Structure 1
């Protein structure tokens, strides 16, 4: 009898407060593919300064699961619920997760988060540099050209500076 191949989709899961790393560790130990976007920050205490890795998106973790693993993830002590719309977990496109990984891989690039309502900008693709291949929206934030990845299901955008000579306009896909 041949095993049934189930489709896997990325979903955002809402975690308990400050439990993102613990949930990530637990799910990895269960061989569940997950992604916790981390960013290094310089923290100052009264007696020392130290670089620490902090979650970019507080209280969120991304998991790539099939229907079979879907409930296994939510049964974790550190998981609260999936990010849902209309009672169903919202799938996140693979290319958004990959673009987020590329944003954070470039240690010289400052990545910011904003939950302000940004007007949809022109759809572009990066054609040169470390972000080559990423598609996003071009917009101006604080007077600088930025490329934005919009996570509508989370109500947030991730953005970073981009040079206009490294992008080209792409036509949106119509269904």
Structure 2
């Protein structure tokens, strides 16, 4: 890292180590965000809702200084930081806020790495999702809103509810 800038960064973890990494870094006093979703899991004798990471193998960490950077790398289960070329990718604060808001509002949020043709560009004018930019797309023969998370090359999909009052952006 040539010049350190405080902010949100993304740790890439070993498969199924997200919660362990988050617990370890929380114990060490680091600020982090591990978005989760409720997921129905089925075993041979029962069904149960569990909290599963929204983005598999990713944990968002807020780094204040270079010491935090190396502390994050030192956690068991961490492989590396997400990078663009040689630079560690920094996540804008508004992206973290969008993810937080979407996960708090909708339990049926989906994550997809599929390619979606650009849809009608909108922003949400009223309701709990006010200000979030999105697109309207058709997926699974239903209208859904799509929020693109470019840094992770993932998309968040939610059913379109009329009470969100979608309007075109200026």
Superposition TM-score tier, normalisation by shorter sequence: 0.7 to 0.9
Asked if 1:16 is matched to 2:24, the reply is no
- Between stretches 117-126 and 21-30, larger displacement belongs to 117-126
The number of residues matched between the two structures is: 165
Question: After TM superposition, what 4+ stretches of structure 1 lie above 6 angstroms from structure 2?
Answer: none
State the Cα distance separating 1:13 from its structure 2 match: 1.2
Alignment match of 2:129 (pick from 131, 138, 146): 131
Does 116-125 or 89-98 show the bigger shift? 116-125
CA distance in 1, matches of 2:118, 2:108: 22
1:1-175 to structure 2, matched below 5 A, reads 7-68=5-66, 69-107=68-106, 109-163=107-161, 166-171=165-170
Instruction: Decide which moves more: 92-101 or 121-130.
Output: 121-130
Asked if 2 retains the 8 angstrom alpha-carbon contact of 1:84 and 1:153, the reply is: no
TM-score by length of 2: 0.86
Deviation of 1:65 (Å): 1.0
Give the SS at the match of 2:128: coil
TM-score (normalizing by structure 1): 0.84
CA RMSD between the two structures: 1.9
Which consecutive residues of structure 1, in runs of 5 or more, have no partner in the other structure? 1-5
